[in-house]
Structure 1
Amino acid sequence: MVKCVHTVDENVSATLTFAVPATKVFAVLADPATHAAIDGTGWVQQAADLAPLTEVGQVFRMSMHHDDHPDKGYTTANKVRVFDPPRAIGWLTGYETDDGRLEFGGWLWRYDLRPLGPSQTEVTLTYDWSAVPPSIREYLRFPPFGPDHLTNSLHHLAEIAARTSHA
């Protein structure tokens, strides 16, 4: 059961308790190959980079699809900003320019894990758009997804983490 979904200033978060140890939940989050299955919108298609996330500054790419995007299919470049196993992981989402530079729009995805015992973890997923500049806000609405997205993502994550912890 979702503990809470709330919007504060320019971020929204949801919290869910999993019957899985924090180390197992963190391992799923650190594996980009699981992100499409975790995503509650269906926009994430697959990992373009399969290396596990291991440090702040690491960049990983995801193949995406969104009907409202000018290209429909596109690739995001994500830069790890928070890496504190097994307590927190987060990344900025952006893109790679034609000349190879990385640009980030100012929004951050963050998961905070709080162990509640050896086999239970409280997980909070936060989407923070407080650093998005006015130039991007002119053409994107924030948050760009419906209210069920975070809840759906947490439920997907719980299912995947439960399956991998029994494997």
Structure 2
Amino acid sequence: MSTGTATEVMSVARHVDASPEAVFRVLADPGRHAAIDGTGWVREPLDDGAISGAGQVFGVGMFHSNHPDGDYRMHNRVEVFDPPRALAWQPGQYGPDGEIGYGGWIWRYDLEPAGGGTRVTLTYDWSAVPAFLREHISFPPFGEEHLTRSLDNLAALV
């Protein structure tokens, strides 16, 4: 396991005993995201089917005790879709105007063959979060242990 934190980017890497293709298939299935998530905030998928390309939006139910509603929904726009090497998305929420607004943080998984399995790097990048959101949300909203648990959960699923 290796970790690294820059000012507004946090990443953790670990070896997973599965091929990059197998790891990517799990990551591309929003129905598996709740089992991967190290915080327990991610709940059920809101859409059927796998992630299939950049620009796609997929929704997930969420829960956080500090959220004003407790239960809420995130609609994630796929920013990188490069099977079996990389997958990244930017979470957002629908506003009262019916448009999705994105907060400026990105989740990214990078996969590379290594030692008969895959080296998976999970990165959380909040460098593009605008000042007005930083007034209401502390970044990062969790520590590196969340990313480490997420990769441990992913390794167990594959």
TM-score by length of 1: 0.92
2:136 is aligned with what amino acid?
A: Y
- For the aligned residue pairs, the C-alpha RMSD in angstroms reads 0.9
Residue of structure 2 equivalent to 1:164: none
- Note if 1:159 corresponds to 2:152: no
Give 5+ residue unaligned stretches, structure 1: 162-167
Residue of structure 2 equivalent to 1:58: 56
Give the superposition deviation at 1:65. 0.3
Counterparts of 1:77 and 1:131, CA distance in 2: 17
Counterparts of 1:97 and 1:60, CA distance in 2: 16
Counterparts of 1:25 and 1:147, CA distance in 2: 21
Residue of structure 1 equivalent to 2:132: 135
Give the superposition deviation at 1:98. 2.5
Counterparts of 1:90 and 1:99, CA distance in 2: 26
1:54 is aligned with what amino acid?
A: S
Identity %: 51
Matches for 1:140-151 after TM superposition, within 5 Å: 140-151=137-148
Residue of structure 1 equivalent to 2:123: 126
Is contact 1:63–1:76 with CA below 8 Å preserved after alignment? Answer: yes
Q: How many residues align?
A: 158
Residue of structure 2 equivalent to 1:165: none
Counterparts of 2:121 and 2:114, CA distance in 1: 13
Give 5+ residue unaligned stretches, structure 2: none
Give the superposition deviation at 1:99. 2.7
2:63 is aligned with what amino acid?
A: H
Give the superposition deviation at 1:145. 1.1
Is contact 1:31–1:50 with CA below 8 Å preserved after alignment? Answer: no
Is contact 2:16–2:155 with CA below 8 Å preserved after alignment? Answer: yes
Counterparts of 1:18 and 1:129, CA distance in 2: 26
Counterparts of 1:94 and 1:46, CA distance in 2: 16
Give the superposition deviation at 1:5. 1.4
Residue of structure 1 equivalent to 2:76: 78
